[in-house]
Chains A and B, each alone.
Chain A
Amino acid sequence: MNYDTAIYTLVNHGIGERIAALTRERGARGGTILVGKGTSDSALLRFLSIADIERELLITLVTDDQKPALIESIRAHCAKARHAGCLFTITTGGKRMDCQSKFECITVIVNRGYADDVMEAARKAGATGGTILHARGTGKPDDEKFFGITIVPEKEQVIILAGRDTAEGIKSAISALECLAVPGMGIMYSSPVEDFMPLGK
């Protein structure tokens, strides 16, 4: 069996596990939940710094046969909640990407502390939101040691979903930032996504 698609389900904190259980019932073999935070759209709330929303990102690998049924069941599960989250898929197998896809997933990995700057630049360029995940770098083999411990840099990973039309602007706005201009501080890449849909009402 080829697991050709990764379903990314982005939901509010605490819902990821329920959806993971649901997808397992429908035949998925498992799922991985990443904990992150999103920011609200309201400028006022952002000004007051209380715009953070705890989010969970569930990644489920599925075969092409399972995909439609699973997506449908997740959508049905979330249909009643308001602004439940969103769902998209990324093709992982040997298949060629569908170049017609209308959306892009922009991933930026930067040193800790710079994710807010990235989000701010992205918003100015038309992004409607994004999710920030905590991560840490693995360090290079010749990295500094301290008491036999490798000091690893802390990272933040920002995921921004954007339409094809705005994605270019967002990417160029982010790459103009200090954290991507200076070597060793951050990287950015993007991949086309399919089946993008909002969950809930």
Chain B
Amino acid sequence: MPEYCVFCQGMIVLNKMNLTQKLKDTSMAILPVDLVVLALHVTVAPLAPHLLISFLAGSVFVILGLGVFLAGADLGIVPAGSLLGASLTRTRNLPLILIALLISGFIITIAEPNLRVQGDLVESVTGSIGSWTLVFAVAGGIGIFLGIAMLRILLQIPFRVVIILLYGIALALATRIDPSLVAIAFDSSGSATGPLTVPFFIALGIGVTSVRGGKNAEDDSFGTTGIAAIGPIFAMVVVGLLVAGKGHSVDGPLDIRVEAAAINQGALELWVSSVPSIMKSVALSLSPLAALLVFFQITLLKLPPAQVRRLVIGLAYTWLGLVLFFVGANSGFIPAGAALGGALGALGSNYFLVPVGCALGSAIVCAEPAMWVLTSQVEEVTSGNIRKPAVLTAVALGVASGVALSMWRVLAGFSVWYLVGPLYILAISLTLVTPKLFASIAFDSGSVATGPVSSAFILPLTIGASAAAGGDPARDAFGLIAMIAITPPVSMQILGIIFHAKERRALKKAGLIKGEDAK
């Protein structure tokens, strides 16, 4: 074998390897967060030295964790989800498909650690809604709506029809229940779509569409998460209607979560003490998924051994990556975020917070693990036509404007519905004009943006500002989550319209389509 053949087709190309490439990508994403925090540190909001060191060490863990998690997702959750989606569809047994999806969605959501924290908080504030009631309701909602999302793909019902219908009903029903329960509903939707559920749902959708074929396969590959995320809102509305009358009023579950995050423990102590519990909780949330895969491997998938080995290793990487990530995030990122929020809030009612929120918002969303899975799947499904940076930029701009608008609203003190209402209507109506693929990616990106990192980092800032401006912190915090959930769909769809126009111009220039050709 001539030696140059070795050169061309393999070699240990360490600097070009997938994992190294991923680490490079994630470092580029986390560095802006570091820069923003450092800039704030030297200017207006100096952090205590141990917090700053902790934060910087935390970012190293977050970068490593994200990189390893993504490598693991590529080997484990993503192929598993899409193989499962494909095999289920191939059985052509509709009841089986729907039941399997319902159970899968339910089991995986129950395992989401954020959701359990959310359940405990809601129980402690409402008294009338038990922790497990919330968890089961939300997981059930996700399961049912995951089924609806797949049914849509199989029956080829346009995404926009489903989204308009479901969001329309959800928003209409939301006006029928206690406004504070609406806050819980939206927040539950945010906590149910975490770093494990989102990649799996995205992959399921891609798997189902990949065997369906047809010319719209690409358009329908996404949107599963966006539809599933409506489930918890419906579920909470049902719970709200059931407990109506006998419940007490709710005073802001989010408030408590933020205080819980602002820990005054010694930095090193926090690092060491958090590791075992994180290892356990990540393992706990991965185990139902693993059990599900073992079950389907025996009954349905029957993959060849090489493939099984990859899945197992992938799940191990996912675990390791998430442990590293959460250790870094919980011990470094979140305390710094809380301290920063407090310091900035203490500056008082100050419009300086608007650009700060903007910068932090756009930087922090790039640290969401699920965001990276979404962008790389988009790139893969479109064969590189829609690149990662384009999607990331659109979502970052969306979150930035969402945070900035929320800050402005908090400082100016008007009701959140004046912003959220029109934005939801705008996002839903944009589905009518935007290219179909972008509409479905857009709603996925909305549920991805409300992940554990962005809410943990930006919420304290809002709470601080709200307290300083004399607002109601609980309601303001809710407004923020609802805003971050809806601004990325708007910005993604606008990107879609621009993208489409540019593509048409390029094709026209190349003489491939005629000017009067409408489509």
Nearest chain B CB to A71 CB, angstrom units: 14
Whether A128 pairs with B89 at a CB distance below 8 angstroms is: no
Whether B213 pairs with A146 at a CB distance below 8 angstroms is: no
Given contacts A50-B19, A53-B13, A151-B90, contact A136 B213 (CB under 8 A): yes
Given contacts A33-B384, A149-B214, contact A116 B16 (CB under 8 A): no
The contact of B71 among A50, A153, A199, by CB within 8 Å, is A50
Residues of chain B from 83 to 110 with CB closer than 8 A to chain A in the complex: 83, 86, 89-90, 92
The answer for the CA separation of A40 and B10 in the assembled complex, in Å, is 5
Nearest chain A CB to B233 CB, angstrom units: 28
A34: B residues at CB distance < 8 A:
383
The contact of B10 among A41, A152, A197, by CB within 8 Å, is A41
A52: B residues at CB distance < 8 A:
17-18, 74
The contact of B9 among A45, A128, A154, by CB within 8 Å, is A128
Chain B residue nearest in CB terms to A30 = B510
A162: B residues at CB distance < 8 A:
5
Residues of chain A from 116 to 169 with CB closer than 8 A to chain B in the complex: 116-117, 120, 126, 128-131, 136, 139, 144, 146-154, 161-163, 165-166
Chain B residue nearest in CB terms to A177 = B304
Given contacts A50-B18, A116-B310, A150-B213, contact A128 B10 (CB under 8 A): yes
The 8 A CB mask of B368-388 against A (1 = contact, 0 = none) is: 000000000000100110000
> Is A10 among interface residues, defined by CB-CB distance under 8 A?
yes
Nearest chain B CB to A155 CB, angstrom units: 10
The answer for the CA separation of A131 and B428 in the assembled complex, in Å, is 41
Chain B residue nearest in CB terms to A166 = B1
Whether B89 pairs with A151 at a CB distance below 8 angstroms is: yes
Whether B155 pairs with A147 at a CB distance below 8 angstroms is: yes
> Is B418 among interface residues, defined by CB-CB distance under 8 A?
no
The contact of A53 among B17, B210, B306, B307, by CB within 8 Å, is B17
Residues of chain A from 168 to 188 with CB closer than 8 A to chain B in the complex: 178
The contact of A130 among B9, B92, B310, by CB within 8 Å, is B9
B86: A residues at CB distance < 8 A:
112, 154
Nearest chain A CB to B122 CB, angstrom units: 39
Nearest chain A CB to B480 CB, angstrom units: 36
The answer for the CA separation of A25 and B211 in the assembled complex, in Å, is 39
The answer for the CA separation of A114 and B302 in the assembled complex, in Å, is 12
The answer for the CA separation of A139 and B213 in the assembled complex, in Å, is 10
A38: B residues at CB distance < 8 A:
9-10
Nearest chain B CB to A36 CB, angstrom units: 10
> Is B44 among interface residues, defined by CB-CB distance under 8 A?
no
Residues of chain A from 20 to 73 with CB closer than 8 A to chain B in the complex: 33-35, 37-42, 45, 48-54, 56
Nearest chain A CB to B203 CB, angstrom units: 13
Whether A136 pairs with B210 at a CB distance below 8 angstroms is: yes
The answer for the CA separation of A49 and B210 in the assembled complex, in Å, is 24
Whether A49 pairs with B313 at a CB distance below 8 angstroms is: yes
A149: B residues at CB distance < 8 A:
154, 156, 212-214
Whether B18 pairs with A53 at a CB distance below 8 angstroms is: yes
The answer for the CA separation of A86 and B8 in the assembled complex, in Å, is 5
Chain A: residues with Cβ within 8 Å of the partner, total of 60
The answer for the CA separation of A130 and B6 in the assembled complex, in Å, is 11
The answer for the CA separation of A147 and B19 in the assembled complex, in Å, is 41
Nearest chain B CB to A108 CB, angstrom units: 15
Nearest chain B CB to A22 CB, angstrom units: 17
The contact of A35 among B71, B213, B314, B384, by CB within 8 Å, is B384
Whether A114 pairs with B304 at a CB distance below 8 angstroms is: yes
Which of B10, B213, B384 is most buried by chain A, counting CB atoms within 10 A of its CB?
B10
Which of B2, B154, B211, B310 is most buried by chain A, counting CB atoms within 10 A of its CB?
B211
> Is A80 among interface residues, defined by CB-CB distance under 8 A?
no
Chain A residue nearest in CB terms to B6 = A128
> Is B417 among interface residues, defined by CB-CB distance under 8 A?
no
Nearest chain B CB to A197 CB, angstrom units: 7
The answer for the CA separation of A85 and B16 in the assembled complex, in Å, is 11
> Is B172 among interface residues, defined by CB-CB distance under 8 A?
no
Given contacts A53-B18, A116-B310, A144-B92, contact A35 B380 (CB under 8 A): yes
B89: A residues at CB distance < 8 A:
146, 151
Residues of chain A from 83 to 109 with CB closer than 8 A to chain B in the complex: 83, 85-86
Whether A113 pairs with B307 at a CB distance below 8 angstroms is: yes
Whether A120 pairs with B211 at a CB distance below 8 angstroms is: no
Whether B313 pairs with A83 at a CB distance below 8 angstroms is: no
The answer for the CA separation of A16 and B6 in the assembled complex, in Å, is 21
Given contacts A40-B17, A146-B92, A146-B154, contact A49 B310 (CB under 8 A): yes
Whether A163 pairs with B18 at a CB distance below 8 angstroms is: no
Whether B154 pairs with A126 at a CB distance below 8 angstroms is: no
A139: B residues at CB distance < 8 A:
213
The 8 A CB mask of B304-342 against A (1 = contact, 0 = none) is: 101101100110010000000000000000000000000
Please list the residues of chain A having a beta carbon within 8 angstroms of any beta carbon in chain B. 10, 12-13, 16-17, 33-35, 37-42, 45, 48-54, 56, 82-83, 85-86, 112-114, 116-117, 120, 126, 128-131, 136, 139, 144, 146-154, 161-163, 165-166, 178, 197-200
